[in-house]
Amino acid sequence: MSKPVLLGLTLSLLLTGWALAATLPGAADRLAQAVKAYEASGAGEDDGEGGADDASRFVFPPVGPAADADRKARLAQAKTLLDGVDPKALNDSQRLTRSILKWSLDERLEGLSFDEARMPFSTDGGFDVVLLYRANGMHLKNEAEARQWIGLLAATPDWYAANIADARRGVKTGFVQAVPTAQAVLDRARRTAATPLVDEPLLAPLRDLPASVPADRKAALLAEGQMVVRDKVAPARAGFVAFMEQEYLPHAARSLAASDLPDGARYYAYLVRRHTTTDMTADQVHALGQAEVARIRARMETVMKQAGFQGDLPAFIAFLRKDPRFYATSRQQLLEKASEIAKRADDQLPAHFGMLPRLTYGVRPVPASIEQGYTTGRYFGGDPKTGRAGGLMINTSALDQRPLYELPALVLHEGAPGHHIQTSLAQEQTGVPDFRKTVYFNAYGEGWGLYSEWLGEEMGLYRDPYELFGRLSYEMWRACRLVADTGIHAKHWTIDQAKACFIENTALSPTNIDVEVARYVSWPGQALAYKVGELKILELRKRAETALGERFDERQFHDVVLLDGSLPLAVLEEKVDAWITLRKRG
């Protein structure tokens, strides 16, 4: 066998995690038992929004104190089992499983200690939009699945009741969202409750049944679905509106800061660790954000000059926000622009990635009933087993607030090479426990999404200085997140103080800034993941390029980062360092 073939085989073994080291059965069995307990807790499964597989897409996840107590017991059992596993007695794949499991167990157990279920909604999502997300892209294959979908709709009252009961516990204990968030959720609930039956997104899967279902059966199933929406879903929605109006909003928190919640200082410190998978403090994250703002702003000024603009940066940003050439004139045009960018990206992927997923993705509009107040774009994972493609969701409302020069960065982040590639490759892993296909660490996932925006420059996808400036504006957006999130939740900033960084340094539209800052108020800590994760991936790439010189292979580097699924940043670093060592020996 030739040396290149040997090297390829060795690298393949490393990347798939199957090394040839001996395994002690006792340690492997104990690890398997820990994984089983972890998976039995529901950890690592879909959160209710998308339906992870055939079984879960037609049921709601269990909710309530009893369900959380069961989860906690199973996770504690898994941790006890895992603590007794000697990593030296495992092969490489099993050691990686152990490392991922340990991080996830510690994070979830600490999260349960704060009883976060008491806050079951935010401006960016919540139990009340789970069905809308799940309906989007749902393809029912036959009458049996149609009846399962109708059964899920019929279970809506119990789902709402369980989550409202959790929120009532939040009201009773003072663990509640701030007033602006409560008002935004109430507004969303009112819009959803007012949806006409003819426009109801929950009925779309029944309207789109395949031709194999006879026409008379289609009509009967749709009529049954309409009756369930009218008699079950609509009253549940109305009840949620009443709860938000009469019980929640009057008792919502007056402070925006998570650190002002009961045990809030410890809670926010946990959220910083959870979303960054690091030991950084809020002050350290804040300082990092300020440094990144200064660095990115300097490059923005350089690109502004490349565009031939003669004024200063604020004037250039004002010009970009107002010039009509930078905005779509119809919802369809915006979707078509996003689709064209997605196909140009697809054209470049094989030159930069050794392994690509088999699952495709589509470009879809955010449902009209939730588009107001919703983020500008998002990715929803698909499932090849159930025939569901991934979905790049584009918010097509308020077109004068959706600049086209930012669209390439958005598509690269949410589609490919961003979340679609990362999520689908994780799903397609073989020879690993199921939880490794779905577990998600924010710093890794969102860091990869932001790294994908950076990679777009190497892929040649920013065609002029305006689109490149759009990328930098998006990068600045994530740097300002570090400043704003920590400012709000650790330094007690006002909304206006948090907005200042975005207004002064990005080309984001006023609507986007309003939506995003509202998101940081209602979802503390999550916004910190992007920049922290991207900077770590860039650091590891630079380390590999420096150490390997001509032996550095970008496609192999991306495979190393992606092929074992979502990882805590410290675990990713160990993996890349091992690959560098192996390449040096080759």
Residue 503 and residue 436 share a domain:
yes
Q: Are residues 144 and 216 in the same domain?
A: yes
Same domain, 137 and 257: yes
Q: Name the residue range of residue 355's domain.
A: 266-533
Instruction: Tell me whether residue 108 is in a domain.
Output: no
| In a shared domain, residues 195 and 337 | no
- Residue 20: the pLDDT is 33
- What's the pLDDT score for residue 55? 61
pLDDT digits over 363-376, tens only?
999 988 788 878 89
Q: Are residues 402 and 464 in the same domain?
A: yes
Whether residue 254 is found in the same domain as residue 372:
no
Q: In terms of Cα–Cα distance, which of 449, 360, 424 is closest to 563?
A: 424
Global pTM exceeds 0.75 = yes
Q: Which of the residues in the chain have pLDDT under 50?
A: 1-24, 46, 48-52
Per the domain annotation, does 384 fall within a domain? yes
Of 508, 533, 558, the residue at which a domain comes to its end is: 533
Count of domains for the chain? 2
513 in a structural domain: yes
Q: Say if CB 293 and CB 524 are below 8 A apart.
A: no
Domain check: are 185 and 231 in the same one? yes
Nearest by Cα to 487 from 301, 259, 275: 259
> Does 578 map to a domain?
no
Domain end (from 210, 239, 262): 262
C-alpha 38/C-alpha 42 separation (Å) is 7
In this structure, the answer to whether residues 375 and 505 fall within a common structural domain is yes
The answer to whether the beta carbons of residues 171 and 236 sit under 8 Å apart is no
Q: Which residues pair with 390 in a beta bridge?
A: 361
Residue count of the chain, please give it: 586
Question: Quick one: 254 and 281 in the same domain?
Answer: no
Residues 366, 494, single domain; the answer is yes
Please check whether residues 486 and 369 belong to one and the same domain. Answer: yes
In-domain check, residue 81: no
Q: Decide which of 533, 557, 572 is a domain's last residue.
A: 533
| Together in a domain, 420 and 292 | yes
Q: 80 lies in a domain?
A: no
Task: Give dist(CA 550, CA 552) in Å, integer.
Answer: 5
Residue 301 included in any domain: yes
Q: Is residue 65 part of a domain?
A: no
Nearest to 397 by CA among 241, 509, 522, 518: 509
Q: Which helix (H) or strand (E) holds 40?
A: helix 25-40
For residue 3, the model assigns a pLDDT of 40
